[in-house]
Chains A and B, each alone.
Chain A
Amino acid sequence: MAHFSLLALAKNALSGHRDWGPTWRNAAPRKAYDIIIIGGGGHGLATAYYLAKVHGITNVAVVEKGWIGGGNAGRNTTIIRSNYGLEGNTSFYEWSMKLWEGLEQDLNYNTMVSQRGVLNLYHSDAQRDAFARRGNAMRLSGVDAELLDVAGVRELAPFLNFDHARFPVMGGLLQARGGTARHDAVVWGYARGASDRGVDVIQNCEVTGMLRGPDGSISGVETTRGTIQAKKVGMSVAGSSSRVAEMAGLQLPIESHVLQAFVTEALKPLIPGVITFGAGHFYISQSDKGGLVFGGDIDGYNSYASRGNLPVVEDVCEGGMAIMPLIGRVRLLRSWGGICDMTMDGSPIIDRTPISGFYLNAGWCYGGFKATPAAGWCFAHLLATDRPHETAKAYRLDRFATGHLIDEKGQGAQPNLH
């Protein structure tokens, strides 16, 4: 399949770029595989890629009900960061950041990783203390973090509403290595890397049921394109995790909620990195095309509808106007919704299940995109070796029963508040 280099670019320029050919093989399902991964999003394709590349397991199928990258991989706001403070999270997300930093060379694909910085603003003494604590936790784990005072923030983003009467900007926690990446290119790069190594990427193939072996273990899947046998089945279907797990008779500590995001008309370069408002539900960055990409909190009620309601649109725009009044005259181009797997502690699950042969990568809440490389890496490790990867060993399914929760926000078992 097409690979990119200066030579290839020059050669294809001579023929007017008409002969590049497809990027990956659009495979038809075979009868049996060693491993089936349900879900052709970033996570599923990254899992297949690392299974093939790191573990040498290439008899693998990724089955996707629509087209690859058509779910949450295409609906997120493309932010990458590893500014987590709790043990179990910090090292995992940092491993993801390290993989992002080498991803383009590894995949030979321009995923447009841009480390333009992620700045979390604080607006009170208490919030500053909490951010200092999180920044210190990050630095102890070898992650970069810098606590800025108001002068430091002013230098980076002079256009903010520093003297807001209720929520003045007092400073911010900066992770300079954070930033953005091109979400579609991540999907396509992993798809090509997996496909080139022999993985079948099968689109328009919806899983409708599970096959059971004589001992009750999962031995394959029923799909809209026929029955496919497999020794192991892993699912990576954020938003629909409960529905797919139900086919295997498994109930999960997950609720599906809708998260909305927005993009404006394109502007000249304005916003240097990613900026989050610490006193409301608002975060923003600027895409390379120039559109301001922003979002806020989930709508707060269970939903599979892939669209939200107006109160949250209003709430997000109010947050934006509070911290960044200059966006008031920019026109909104589009808004959309994605379905998030909200877990009971706001942290994900990468684990075996009580059902033999059935593996789970789920519960990414509204933060799955940044985790794509490490989630794929760790899920591949789990599928290949039946043991959790060192950096993902806290993401157990049974932690809700044993009490080992990873609750960054400290909200408890209220998924709509995480």
Chain B
Amino acid sequence: MRIPCPYCGERDVQEFVYRGDASPVRPLGEDGFYEYVYLRRNSAGVMREHWYHAQGCRNWIEVQRNTQTHEILGSVFARRVAL
């Protein structure tokens, strides 16, 4: 897999660290914390996920990737979603 970094361009997957599904949002209080930490939709198909370009620009990026084919559909810089 080669991942298109929005800053560095297309780079080998080895340069990146994987965090996982980008859709869960950290809750403000205790409610929903178990779901946030432990439960996953584990989608078969296109998924938004967080990758960290550790051996490149050291940006967190959000990649759209198909988990059934490993096809990568695009990437953007990760944004702070929670308050």
Contact = CB atoms under 8 A, between A and B. Distances in A.
B4 interface: no
A253 B39 contact: yes
Give the contact-size bracket for chain B. 20 to 34
Contacts of A256: 42, 44, 67
Contacts of A254: 40, 42
Interface in B36-73: 37-44, 47, 49, 65, 67-70
Provide the main secondary structure of the chain A interface.
mixed
A24 to B, nearest CB: 30
Given A301-B18, A305-B70, A252 B39 contact: yes
Provide the main secondary structure of the chain B interface.
mixed
B60 to A, nearest CB: 15
B41 A304 contact: no
A168 interface: no
B39 A311 contact: no
Contacts, number: 65
A242 B18 contact: no
Nearest to A240: B44
Nearest to A301: B18
B2 to A, nearest CB: 10
A401 interface: yes
User: Which of B1, B12, B34, B44: most chain A Cβ within 10 A?
Assistant: B44
A416 B69 contact: no
Contacts of A400: 34, 37-38
Interface of A: 242-243, 251-256, 300-305, 309, 311, 344, 400-401, 413, 415-416
15 contacts: A243-B42, A252-B39, A253-B40, A255-B20, A256-B44, A301-B49, A302-B21, A302-B47, A304-B67, A311-B12, A311-B14, A400-B37, A401-B34, A416-B18, A416-B20
